[in-house]
Amino acid sequence: MFRKDAGQNAPLLRHKTKGKSRIMNQNQAKEYYEKLFVNYPDVLSVEEATTLLGFKSQTAIIRRIHQHRIRCLKVGRSFMIPKEYLIDYLLDS
C-alpha cells in the first residue's frame, strides 16, 4: 500500500515486520523483495509464480498476465515471468 507523505513526493510502502509497522520508499521495498526472493530462480513459470505470490490457482496469475498487470515472456505456449517483473507487480499494486 502506497501513500503520499506531506513532506516528500516519493511514494511510501507500509510493511509489517515482526509485528512492527515499517515505512519504506519504493527503492527500499524493491531491495527488500529482492532479498526475500533470492532463493527463487531468475525466471519463473506460472506455477512457481503462483507459489511465490501465495495465490491458490494459476488462473489468477494468467488472468493478471492477460490484463497486462504482470509482464511476462511467452515461450511457445507457456508464460515465463522474470523475478524482476513480479517485483514490479508487487510494487505497483
The CA distance from 44 to 79, in Å, is 9
Mean pLDDT across 35-51: 93
- DSSP character for 88? H
- Of residues 10 and 63, more confidence is placed in 63
Site of grid cell 512492527: 20
Q: What is the pLDDT of residues 69-85, one digit of tens each?
A: 999 999 999 999 999 99
Q: Does position 93 have pLDDT exceeding 60, yes or no?
A: yes
Tell me the residue type at 55.
F
Residues 48/40, Cβ–Cβ less than 8 Å: yes
Beta bridge partners of 44: 81
Beta bridge partners of 79: 74
Q: Does position 91 have pLDDT exceeding 60, yes or no?
A: yes
Q: Does position 31 have pLDDT exceeding 50, yes or no?
A: yes
